[in-house]
Structure 1
Amino acid sequence: MEYPKFKVFVRCFTFNQSRYIEETMNGFTMQQTKFPFVCCIVDDASTDGEQQVIIKYIEENFDITDTAIAYQKETDYAHVIYAQHKVNKNCFFVALFLKENHFSHHKSKMEYLKEWNDGVPYEALCEGDDYWIDPDKLQMQVDFLDENPEYGLTYSQALVCNQNNEIDRSTIIGSSSCHSFSEMIEQNPVPTLSTLFRRSLYEKYRLCIKPNPQWRMGDYPIWLFFSLKSKIHFFEKVTASYRSLPESASHSRSLKKKLQFTKGIYLVRKDFINYANRKDLLAKCRRKYWCEAVVICLYQIAVFLKIKS
């Protein structure tokens, strides 16, 4: 099939996020752009009814009639739906409902996306529990990257909300405090859900970097690579809302999981310091890791003592 000349490919990986995915999809369809963009929602064989929520949303908001350009197809790995929004004609959805959970089988989903992201210049990320709140997010970021070829990544600020959709107005994540590689090794200022980046540079990352299974994160390594290969631009504007859940890849009540995640961050930093041949940063990186680990342990002890008392 011949697709429109998409300018942005939006990647949304989701699993068991039926409570939140509609808000995520609303954030996609609200985008006002001068170009066509495609949102690829990959459901990793959810068991909480999320696939039905996505299907219902597409049926209500997208043109899936026989006279439209929409289609449904079955592959050996997924059921696929592709359609154009009824009102926002620049917005296209492709939903992949995977037949088995790829995360538990350590299987990549990236190869399935080639049909829709091949040749698309820009990519944006938003997981199925986060959402965009600014209808000009994509247009603003594309305009900047179009006019500034030396930049590879843009990002902005985001609000924080909890599992009940209560927004913490006192907390805004995302800052312009560090963009050089040495600064990015110190901290990660980039909220993933706010990003838009050049796919050509991301493909170089995939060719050059072999992920360490102990990293326990997929976004921070990409931003470190971009800091080595291009400039990074920050928009001091809130465009999205990040959902902070009690149990997730980056948050947990478990001391073991907290320490594993902290070690994962350390290994990302260590591996990229070696990749960039910046051995001068290793000692500082080790000190930061041990300080963070000690703080986590002390906090956990304090919580335990408080409970006991």
Structure 2
Amino acid sequence: MNPEVSVIMLTYNHAPYLKQAIEGVLAQKTNFPFELIICNDNSPDHSDAIISEYAARFPDRIRYFNHKNNIGFVENQRFAFNQAKGKYIAYCEGDDYWTDLEKLQFQHDFLETHSEYVMVTARNLLFHQDEQTMTDDGKNHMFKDQEYIDFTRDSFFVQRPTQTFTYLIRRKCMDLKWIDVYPNYRDLYYFYHVLEFGKGRSFNKVVGVYRLHSGGVFSSLEIENKYRTSIGIFKNIKRVNNDKRADQQIIKTLDELINKYYYEKEFVSPILNGKLYAAILERLSISGNIRTGAGQLLKIIKYTFTR
């Protein structure tokens, strides 16, 4: 019997966290069969021993692939998605974990009864590994005490009330061809293309914990690189699809880069920061908003002499 849901778990050097990740999936209470596909990208730590033990204990539930050579995150992702047999796909990397035992069940039930939706997500907590502290996901302002909020391709460019490891997606809406179209393929690319086929819903309930630590795929990047990565993703979406709606997100992220980073953190004196001037000019070239550009240039003086 084919599984209803395929849970994808990519892992590389996640040995300290794998048990929690795997058990969070295996603990799911469902009235349908699901599979857990674990793809280990030749981790040099003892991940293989941990995963192999679980795979031996749960051969009817876990399909384990340990690559003999490191193939990289993008190719590991492609490989994993190609293994999926389920009608729906869920995702949980080896350093994150689910806490809601009915996460798969309620999301599956929703998609089964709402054909106009192509994906369903939820909220999560953030565990700051280095500080050993837990915080919320910072999305209270989006939900405003509502039970759920819907999102579309249009709102995708304004706000995304989701985290990748909380989603359930209709597999038929995911086209792996986009992996070869976009450089350094990211989840935002397939979110964008999946939403071509319908809406998404995000429920205002916590279903898991996203771990922030120095070894994370994204959290290990420097702050500036995070902003630049986001800008690059939306530039690629705009370029490939000729979709100028991406400018909304590019401008928003440039403002965050300028206001939250370049003014205060990059250099002792912002007036000497060439990257700051380049970011302001880049924003101006996209928005055409001279007033905002002038205001940002004037702030350089403020932040230089008020430290």
The TM-score, its normalising length taken from structure 1, stands at 0.75
Range moving further from structure 2, 223-232 or 43-52 = 223-232
Within the candidate set 235, 242, 246, 1:270 is matched to 235
Within the candidate set 10, 13, 34, 1:13 is matched to: 10
Taking the aligned partners of 1:110 and 1:32, their CA distance within structure 2 comes to 28
AA aligned opposite 1:287: I
Q: Deviations over 1:162-198 (max 9, x none)?
A: 2269452454558556613232112332111100000
- Structure 2 residue 127 is the aligned partner of structure 1 residue 143: no
Q: Name the counterpart of 1:42.
A: 39
- Tell me the residue number matched to 1:73: none
C-alpha spacing 1:111/1:196, structure 2 compared with 1 (3 Å): same
Q: Which amino acid in structure 1 is aligned with residue 91 of structure 2?
A: L
Paired residues for 1:298-309 under 5 Å: 298-301=263-266
Q: CA deviation at 1:268?
A: 2.1
Residue 245 (structure 1) aligned to one of 213, 225, 240: 213
Q: What's the counterpart of residue 193 of structure 1? A: 165
Separation of aligned partners in 2, 1:286 and 1:107: 27
TM-aligned CA distance change 1:209 to 1:46, over 3 Å: closer
More strand by share: 1
CA root-mean-square deviation: 2.9
2:262 pairs with 1:297: yes
Following superposition, the deviation at residue 55 of structure 1 comes to 1.8
1:180 matched residue in structure 2: 152
SS at match of 2:23: helix
Indicate the SS of the match to 1:25.
helix
Q: Which consecutive unaligned segments of at least 5 residues does structure 2 have?
A: 144-148, 271-306
How far off is 1:12 after superposition? 0.5
Could you tell me which amino acid in structure 1 is paired with residue 3 of structure 2? F
Q: Equivalences for 1:35-184 in 2 at 5 Å?
A: 35-59=32-56, 61-62=57-58, 83-84=59-60, 92-103=61-72, 107-108=75-76, 110-111=78-79, 114=82, 116-118=83-85, 120-163=86-129, 166-171=132-137, 176=143, 179-184=151-156
1:182 & 1:14 partners in 2: Cα distance?
32
More helix by share: 2
Deviation at 1:296, TM superposition (A): 2.3
**1:230: Cα distance to partner?**
0.8
Q: Per the alignment, in what secondary structure is the counterpart of residue 100 of structure 2?
A: coil
Tell me the percent identity: 24
Query: Closer, same or farther in 2 for the Cα pair 1:178/1:142, shift >3 Å?
Result: closer
Report if aligned partners of 2:150, 2:199 keep a CA contact under 8 Å in 1.
no
- Name the counterpart of 2:278: none
Retained in 2: the 8 A contact 1:250–1:261?
yes
Number of corresponding residues:
264
**TM-fit CA distance, 1:299:** 4.1
